[in-house]
Structure formats: C-alpha cells, structure tokens
Amino acid sequence: MSVNLKPQKHIEDLKTIVESKIYGKIKKQWLIITIIVAVFAMIFILTSAVLAFEIKYQNKFFPGSRIGDVSLEGLTAPEALEVVNQLTEKLEKQEIRILYKNGDSSYLKITPSINALNDPDLSRELLRFDNHKTVYEAYNYGRNQSWLKNITDQVKMLSKDKYFKASFILDDSMMRQLIKQGLSELETIAQNASVNVIWQDNNNYSLEFIAEQNGITIDYNDAISKIKNNLAELKNDQIEIKKQNADPLVHLSEVPNKEAMVKQVLTTTTPELLYGDQKWTISKKDLSQMLEFQKDKDNFFIVALNKDKFFDWLNNNLSAKINIEPKDASIEMIDGRVNKFEAHRDGQTVNVEETYNKINPYLKQGNLKIEVAVDTTSPKISTSEINNLGIKEILGTGHSNFTGSPANRRHNIKTGADKLNGVLIKPDEEFSLIKTLGEIDGEHGYKQELVIKGNKTLPEYGGGLCQIGTTTFRATMGSGLPVTARRNHSYNVAYYLENGLPGTDATIYDPNPDFKFINNTGNYVLIQTRIIGDDLYFDFWGTNDGRRAERTTPRVWNWVSPPATKYIETLDLPVGQKRCTESAHKGVDTSFDYTITYADGQVDETTFTSHYKPWQAVCLIGVETLTLENATSTDEILIP
C-alpha cells in the first residue's frame, strides 16, 4: 500500500517561505532601526563634540590661530592683545637691518623713528602697529559668518594652522628716502650718450661727444615689500637689497650725423617764448647746455631739449614773472562785525610740461616762436559768494599754549596761523589742514629745525605745525564739527597738555598724517586766528544750527617709564661733546568721548583713544673714529 505525502510537503514549504519572509522583514526593520540609532548616535556625538569645542573655546582663540610664529590657541582677546603688544613694542624699538653687500656683513640699520633736538613736532614714528585690529580680525575668524561657514573655518584651522597678518602703517615714502640716503653710494645713474658744447671767447665752439655709461640701481620697491612682509609676520629678519642693471637709452654708436645735427640747431635756432606782450629769448649758450639726443615718434634720433634743464630755465626766467597765486575772497571779523574785506584773485601758473611739448619738436626749424602755456586757477571762494556766507557768530574756539618754544618754532607757529587766518570752508567741504597750509618750506616763510637722523643732525621743515594741528582739532570739537582724520603724537608732548592732561592733540606732517573735518553746518565756516603772548586761539565763525558739542575729560592710564638714553657716535661733533634730543618722555594711554547732538536729536559720538609711547632721549656723542657694534668686518650705517 502506498501513501501520498505531497500535500504535507507543500504545507511545510509554505511555512518555510512565510517564516523566511517574516524573518527577512524583521531583520530589515532591525537594520533600519540600527542605522537610525547609529546616525542619531553619531549626530549626538558630533553635536556634543562641537558643543564641547565651542564651550571650551568660548571667548578664546581657536586651535590653529597664529600671528606670525606666535600661537594664540586658548587665549582670550585681551590676553592675545597683551602678547601682540609685547612683540610689536619690541619690533618698534629694533633697527631694520638691510644687507647691502654680498659676501660680507655690511648692513644699513634703520630705526623706525625720528628724533628732534628742540621741537617735538618733528619727532615721529615711521612704523605704527594697529594691534586691536590685528587681534579683532584673528579672533573673529570662524565666528562672524554663517553657522556652516564658521564650522568649516574652524575645521580648516584644526587641520592646518591659519596665519594672520599683523596690521600696521609704514611711512613708505620716508622709509624709501632713508634707504636711498644710506645706500646712495651704491647706485650709479645710467648716462645716455651726450654732447658737451664748449664755448670759446670769440663765440666759437667745439663739440665733445661723451659715450654712454651703464648704471646700477636699487630696487626700493622690493626692499619696502620685504620689510612689510617681515612686519606682517612680526619678524625682524634681515633683508637683502636687490640691485638692477640700468641700461642707457642712447648709445653713441647708434646716433647718425650727430655733429651735423647739433650744429644745425646751434646755427639756426634762437627760440623765443611769448606771453602777452612779454618775450624771452633762449640764448645759444643756454640752449647748448640743454641739448641731448632723443628718439622722435618715428624712432629716429633727433637733437632735443633735456626736460629737467628746460624746466629749470623756465622756472628761473619765466615763472616768477607769470605765476600768480590764486587768492580767495576773504573777510575779517572783529566784535561780530566785518572789519576787512578782500576781493578774490584768479591764479595762473606756467604749464612747463605743455610748453616743453610745444618747443621740443620744432627745434630744427630755427627762429621758432612759442606761446608759453599758462593754466588759470580759480579761487575756492569768489567775491560774488562772499555776500551769502552766513558768517554770523563764533561756533567754537580752540586754544593751546606754546610756552618755552624756541625762536624758530614760534616763527613757524605764527606763519602757520597766518596761513589759516581768513580761510573760508564751503558747506559740505572736507577741510584738509595739510592742503590748506600748502608748501612747507623756506620759500613760503618757514624756518628749519634740527633732527637726529642716524649719526648726523640735519635741518628739516615742519617744526611748530603740530601746534596748529592741535589748536585746529580743539576748535573743530568746540564747533561741533565731525572729525574725519586725526592722529595723536608718538609721545606725550608738554605743549599739548590741556588742564594738565594729555590726549587732545593732533599731529600733522606733509603729506601724512593730516587733520581733516567736514563742514556740515549748511553754511560757510570762517577761520580766524590770533596769538596773545604764548597762547594760540582759533575761532570758527559761521551760523549756529542748534547743535551742541561736548567732550569728556581725558581718561589717563598705563604710565610707562622711558628707556635709558641712547648714545650714537658721530664724527660731526668735537670729541666728547654731546648733542641730545630735548628729553625722554613717559608712555601713557588716554581716551575721551566727543559727542555732537544735532538740533533734530541725532547724536554722533566718537571716542578718541591715544597711545603715547615711552620715548627715550637720543644723544649724539663726538668720537675720533667710529666703533663697530659687532665684528670688525661689519660695516653698519645707522639711519635715524
């Protein structure tokens, strides 16, 4: 007998299939649950790590934050500022060392400050670090952006250090001047092939042709760039100057028919310069001293005038007879009434460049007549405007005292004050003190004073003008006008104490730093200056629009004693004799608040913070021979 088991087998197979599907479904669900749990666990761990990281470095620098070689990790902003302050104070006292001869240890050393003998206005820094800005920018990296950008920046710093550059201001032009002063003997100017006309007593002449000479120049831009790179990294590594060959543009062998060309000009040409009914003739002898070889627009050699020599001839012979300074219409107020009125005057100036461009192409034509190019300059304030100025009352007065000033400083203070007296400032004009004072030199009435540069005392213009800057600053605040540019002196100067306190001074030096403010009164502002004994007063006249100006008494802290006197050997003084700067000065920090409240209730508040460095006295001492600070093979030139 046989038994059929197939139905039972089907049932078992079906059961197996069902169990398998159920198990697979359960397994899949557990896998999903496991993944979800793992993801949430990972998110929790990462979030916890991020939160722990953020909490740990709350108000502190993140890992990987560096300024130069200094790690700021874990420091608060005030702690980092203290570290950076110490580094920059050290850098500001050190000489910048420039290697200027390959193969031996020869250096130019530049001290980043200039010291005056008698007038503190001429003492100044060439280098000033802005450590607050440096620390602020570094601290806020990874903080002030979106959440994702902040996290990304923080992760980048964890994987690779972030180097932040120090913020500073370097007086490029003065630094270039000092490098050039110290290394001028290393440079030779390339000389083009030239002609020398030798005149004899009988008005005959002979020609001497001088071959070209190659030159060597110093790449000053490269030197300044290297100095800045060092400073940005808070380093003072020595730098090496880069010399460049300078090739002349005119080679004697390339000039054809040179003798014939020169003789043609000297035989036929007597240039005449005309302006109105005036006439100037360039004599053949004067003309011969200006001749040089140039290439014309078609690249052919011609005999032409040397631009610098022609400019000198124009300035010596024409400019004084043609040039006229423009003069604004001006008024003088006494006791609230117009005491004096002066009409405006247009100015005119010889345009030497255009005049040169007129005469140069036509030399070979002979007996040429050239109209002198003259530019007309309109004054800032015309007579027609003077009647609608709105000059009604004194808006504010600035005062400073210059007791103890030497004669030249007093002279310069009066000269500067006279320049400002009667100046009118248009509505919405930004006033620039440097621009208004104009050229600061002997031709414009100023006297020089001595400064120590390297191991020499040299005369320099500009003394006394910070008295002008400080008084203008105080008059500006007294009048409630917004200040747009102001810098304090490098060190605390007794002339500028106000009620015995530092902090309300303003230094100026052509071309920078400048002092600026905006006339936002809606009317003209008139400056009137007066000197009574040792007191300087600036009165700002205008129309009172209802604004109110206030300033707090300066807050003073952080007095620091000056370094010991620095002695510099010199051959310019008798042996053993000393010549020193006026005195050393303690360092100090100050700040005060300046508030303008306008008639409509708008309030503008500015805090003026000043850092005055401890300033050492510097003395030159006469010696018979200069000693070297390092090895005897080291030649060091010290610039201020």
pLDDT tens, 600-637?
999 999 999 999 989 888 888 898 887 644 332 233 44
- Over range 162-177, report the average pLDDT: 91
The confidence score (pLDDT) of residue 13 equals 62
Higher pLDDT: 547 or 619? It is 547
Of the pLDDT bands very low, low, confident and very high (cuts 50, 70, 90), residue 334 is low
Residue 265 has pLDDT above 50, yes or no: yes
Model confidence pLDDT, tens digit, residues 99-152: 887 556 677 888 888 777 777 777 888 899 999 999 999 999 988 888 888 888
The confidence score (pLDDT) of residue 630 equals 34
Of the pLDDT bands very low, low, confident and very high (cuts 50, 70, 90), residue 534 is very high
Higher pLDDT: 455 or 227? It is 227
CA distance 10 to 103: 101
CA distance 536 to 468: 8
The confidence score (pLDDT) of residue 49 equals 61
The confidence score (pLDDT) of residue 58 equals 87
The confidence score (pLDDT) of residue 333 equals 62
Which two three-digit tokens encode residue 19? 């169990």
Q: How big is the CA angle at 508 (ends 116 and 382), to the nearest 5 degrees?
A: 140
- Over range 571-599, report the average pLDDT: 90
The confidence score (pLDDT) of residue 292 equals 93
Residue 335 has pLDDT above 60, yes or no: no
The confidence score (pLDDT) of residue 55 equals 75
The confidence score (pLDDT) of residue 558 equals 93
The confidence score (pLDDT) of residue 102 equals 53
The confidence score (pLDDT) of residue 476 equals 98
Contact between 528 and 542 under an 8 Å Cβ cutoff? The reply is: no
Residue 212 has pLDDT above 70, yes or no: yes
Higher pLDDT: 243 or 457? It is 243
**602 Cβ neighbours under 8 A, 6+ residues apart:** none
- Over range 560-565, report the average pLDDT: 90
The confidence score (pLDDT) of residue 455 equals 57
Q: pLDDT averaged over the chain?
A: 85
- Over range 485-506, report the average pLDDT: 94
Of the pLDDT bands very low, low, confident and very high (cuts 50, 70, 90), residue 9 is low
The confidence score (pLDDT) of residue 252 equals 93
**109 Cβ neighbours under 8 A, 6+ residues apart:** 95, 96, 97, 98, 636, 637, 638, 639
**404 Cβ neighbours under 8 A, 6+ residues apart:** 494, 495
Model confidence pLDDT, tens digit, residues 367-403: 678 899 999 887 766 655 666 677 878 999 999 999 9
- Nearest-CA neighbor of 639 among 252, 329, 175, 197? 175
The confidence score (pLDDT) of residue 629 equals 46
The confidence score (pLDDT) of residue 401 equals 96
- Over range 204-212, report the average pLDDT: 93
Residue 9 phi, psi (nearest 5)? -65, -40
CA distance 533 to 424: 26
Model confidence pLDDT, tens digit, residues 405-428: 999 999 999 999 999 998 889 999
- Over range 341-349, report the average pLDDT: 76
Residue 34 has pLDDT above 90, yes or no: no
Which two three-digit tokens encode residue 9? 């087998």
Of the pLDDT bands very low, low, confident and very high (cuts 50, 70, 90), residue 452 is low
Residue 343 has pLDDT above 80, yes or no: no
72-81, 456-465, 471-480, 557-566: which has the minimum mean pLDDT?
456-465
The confidence score (pLDDT) of residue 30 equals 76
Residue 482 has pLDDT above 80, yes or no: yes
The confidence score (pLDDT) of residue 320 equals 84
80-94, 455-469, 559-573: which has the minimum mean pLDDT?
455-469
Contact between 403 and 534 under an 8 Å Cβ cutoff? The reply is: yes
Kindly report whether the global pTM for this prediction surpasses the value 0.75: no
